[in-house]
Amino acid sequence: MLAMSCGEDPPLPPLDPADDLVEFAYNPTSHELAIPSYMGSMNIPADNPTTEEGIELGKRLFFDPILSADSTMSCSSCHDPALSFNDNLALSPGVDGIMGRRSAMSLINIGFVDHGLNWDGSKVTLEQQALEPVINEIELHETWPNVINKLQRHSTYPPLFREAFGINDRDDMTKELAAKAIAQFERTLISSNSRYDQIRWGSGVFYEEDESRGSQLFFFEQAIGLDHPGCSHCHGGPQFAESSFFNNGLTPAETLADFPDRGRGKVTGVPADNGKFRPPSLRNIALTAPYMHDGRFATLEEVLDHYKSGGHPSPNVNANIRPFTLTEQNKTDLIAFLNTLTDTSFVNNPDFQNPFE
């Protein structure tokens, strides 16, 4: 998807060093994130409180192709709200048509991830992560000095930076402030209204029989006594994710040095971390095919077949990756349960849509 250009805002003449922004009011309005109590708290940096003005600026930056070298792509090109902020591609092309090495991850409930972002945990905070796609040669392939120069000369962005962060002059616009704004917007991407949530938290909605059977298979606490290990070892808690990195048997490797993509190991430099990746949230999983860090599985059925087989051997494969019995009925039931994690109100939320359309 190519985000629409913000062409309705013509660029300004060359920057006047004496030009200031103090004529625009700085009176930010605090924004309280809609976080249900059962989801726990979100770690928000003290130096980047969430405000209405920061969210608005971050939303525009997220959808604006001005961040890319040729103004054809934005963050939303790989993170489409209609697809739960995913792009339904195994690998995504950047502005130069070069394919990325890993699948774009959904941003659903991304603000709750506090143990390392991206598949390999290479970035700790959303503020750090937001800086990377702009300068990545495969993604937006731009430089931050160029981006800031374009934003400084834009008719809309300088006042928005002033209103969000209280800067006095266009010269005070920085990549760090841009990243803070994008992070504020991303923290609002909260899903808590799936059928699962409605069932689990007592709104009078109940499982259908197949969904109930699937839930018994999914949660390992309930799967005790079966040869099925349960799915919630790696996809537990209200986010259906875990704060660890796992080797889930995708790639055969005789030694720890044989993984073609070292994953977490490339970040930590620890050989035992090679081939490990962050398990993504399963919320809206039915909307975010294909699956795995390289998008190798087109359907949930293929994913379940992989786990049923016990995966491929390697020195550090997770202990829960082992062959088990999974009938066709079991698969149908598990997928019925996974479909209860779909939150259509999230993908249709008007607050998350492209402001340029």
Give the tokens for residue 320: 């829960």
**What pTM does this model have?**
0.93
**What per-residue confidence (pLDDT) applies to 228?**
72
- Looking at residue 203, its pLDDT comes to 76
Of 102, 104, 55, nearest in space to 77 by CA: 104
The one-letter code for the residue type at 101 is R
Distance CA 272, CA 256 (A): 7
Give the integer Cα–Cα distance in Å for 130 and 187: 12
- What pLDDT does residue 11 have? 54
Low-confidence ranges of the chain (pLDDT < 70): 1-19, 220-226
How many angstroms separate the CA atoms of 67 and 58, rounded?
Answer: 12
How far apart are the C-alpha atoms of 10 and 2, rounded to whole Å?
20
- What pLDDT is stored for residue 7 in this prediction? 44
Helix and strand element counts for the chain (H, E): 11, 0
For 106-170, give the DSSP string: P-TTGGG--S-BTTTT-BSSHHHHHHHHHH-TTTT---HHHHHHHHHTBSSHHHHHHHHH--SBG
Q: Which among 243, 197, 217, 246 has a CA at the least distance from the CA of 329?
A: 217
DSSP H helical segments within the chain, as ranges?
52-63, 126-135, 144-152, 157-165, 175-187, 195-200, 209-218, 264-268, 300-309, 328-339, 344-347
CB-CB contact of 163 with 26 (8 Å):
yes
Largest CA-CA distance found in the chain, in angstroms, rounded: 74
Residue entry with tokens 């969904």? 211
